[in-house]
Amino acid sequence: MDEQQDDMVRLASGLLERVQGDAVLNFQSEVIWLLRRDGDLSLNEQEDIWPRQRLAAVSQPFRRATYTYEW
């Protein structure tokens, strides 16, 4: 599963480079992995979601912040 998640992050990073606007990458509609709002990219603070090799796959500037869904 880790390899699939790594691939997903690489694909999402490439998409963020090509497509403008707000975006969210979530896991099973429960955990927000990344959020881009008004050009500001935030990656979840959980180290198990974003180990070093995944962080290295993100080519855009980012900050770390954790967001949750309010149901």
pLDDT tens column, 10-67: 999 999 999 999 999 998 889 999 999 999 999 999 999 999 999 999 999 999 999 9
Pairing state of beta strands 31-37 and 23-27? antiparallel
| pTM, 2 dp | 0.89
Residue 1 banded pLDDT, cuts 50, 70, 90:
low
The Cα–Cα gap between 28 and 35 comes to: 15
Residue 32, CA distances (Å) to 37, 40, 64 in order: 13, 15, 12
Length in residues, the chain:
71
